[in-house]
Amino acid sequence: MGTSDSEFNSDLLLAHKLPETRYTYNERDVAIYALGIGACGQDAVDSDELKFVYHRNGQDLIQVLPTFASLFTLGSLTEGLDLPGFKYDPSLLLHGQQYIEIYRPLPSKASLVNKVSLAGLQDKGKAAILELETRSYEEGSGELLCMNRTTVFLRGAGGFSNSSQPFSYKNYPSNQGLAVKIPQRQPLTVCEERTQPSQALLYRLSGDYNPLHSDPEFAKLAGFPRPILHGLCTLGFAIKAIIKCVCKGDPTAVKTISGRFLTTVFPGETLITEMWLEGLRVIYQTKVKERNKTVLAGYVDIRGLSSSL
């Protein structure tokens, strides 16, 4: 264990308290987010999707997609995370996994206080896996709205601990957020949706301005031929498909979301999401049609099932 701030120091790291963050949003942010994950992207009058963007009786009545909750975490990672006793290169960061619990339907506007804590850190040799947990409370009522656990894969940041006993810290149940086992049988339903070449440029307006998603030169330096799609954008497309195909368009049916980003998506590619039902759990995987590659896999726990399924 090191003694200076630039060397790995587990005592310093685990004792560190991350600052609270604030997140305030309104109906405009909700609509811009929905457009960013492709709502009405294929059909501007699709009644399953228009409700996330527009309401004829006033914008405060638009419905909020449950994955909007993932935006509440952004400040902690995108504005530079300063962890004493652990260093990494933010330009080599990739989003690895997202786990979200929704405790009550998200309002169309709110001011939130986020309590952020370190949920995990693992030394994988070539990379480090860092996990942050964010609990979002509504300002005023103090009510807990949702919890996000964000896993980032930090290329080049591994090898900071003893290789015969790599450092591994996790403070949450092992059944949460693990990669899922995809059933061998045919999926219950499949949804295909093309992302737009400008998808990342639109999605970034929801708050993740990392140039990896917009700047060709930056993307090349980070090891990609061109800018890549935000992981949370791909997740938004997949969960929107599940809401449409399994939850009969009801976004409040979603209780828990888990997703692991398996490989990168390029804006303009077509996403095919396959879904299987196991009790009240929807197992899903999303593939890129053009490359026949699975890019995302996970599960969604839902509150109930429509009788027609």
Ligand X SMILES: CCC/C=C/C(=O)SCCNC(=O)CCNC(=O)[C@H](O)C(C)(C)COP(=O)([O-])OP(=O)([O-])OC[C@H]1O[C@@H](n2cnc3c(N)ncnc32)[C@H](O)[C@@H]1OP(=O)([O-])[O-]
Q: Which residues are catalytic?
A: 208, 213, 228, 231
Q: Enter the DSSP assignment of 85.
A: T
Residue 168 makes contact with ligand X by CB under 6 A: no
C-alpha to C-alpha distance for 159 and 113, rounded to whole angstroms: 35
- Which positions from 1 through 60 interact with ligand X, judged by CB under 6 A? none
The span of 82-90, 147-155, 266-274, 282-290 binding ligand X (CB under 6 A) equals: 147-155
Chain position whose Cβ is nearest to ligand X: 96
Q: How far is the CB of 170 from ligand X (least distance, A)?
A: 11
Residue 114 near residue 21 (C-beta atoms within 8 A): yes
Residue 76 within binding range of ligand X, rule CB under 6 A: no
Q: What whole-number distance in Å separates Cα of residue 45 and Cα of residue 120?
A: 43
| Binding of ligand X by 262 (CB under 6 A) | yes
- Does residue 106 interact with ligand X by CB under 6 A? no
**Of the residues 231, 251, 259, 267, which one makes contact with ligand X according to CB under 6 A:** 231
**Residue 9 or 134 having the CB closest to ligand X:** 134
Q: Which is nearer to ligand X, 50 or 229 (CB)?
A: 229
Radius of gyration in angstroms for the set of CA atoms belonging to the chain, rounded to a whole number: 19
Question: Which residues, at least 6 apart from 165, have a Cβ–Cβ distance to it below 8 Å?
Answer: none
For residue 96, the minimal CB distance to ligand X (Å) is 3
* Extended beta strands in 124-230, E state: 127-138, 144-155, 168-170, 189-194
Q: Which helix (H) or strand (E) holds 34?
A: helix 27-36
- Of 189 and 264, nearer to ligand X (C-beta) is 264
Amino acid letter, 10: S
263 binds ligand X (CB under 6 A): yes
Pick the binder of ligand X from 151, 199, 273, 285 (CB under 6 A): 151
Beta bridge partners of 284: 275, 298
**Which of residues 58 and 225 has its CB atom nearest to ligand X in the complex?**
225
Residue 66, both tokens: 């449950």
Identify the three-state secondary structure at position 219.
helix
Stretch of 93-101, 190-198, 238-246, 251-259 contacting ligand X, by CB under 6 A: 93-101
10 Å CB burial of residue 87 (0-12, 13-18, 19+) is middle
Binding footprint of ligand X on the chain (CB under 6 A): 77-78, 94-97, 124, 129, 150-153, 208, 210, 228, 230-231, 260-264
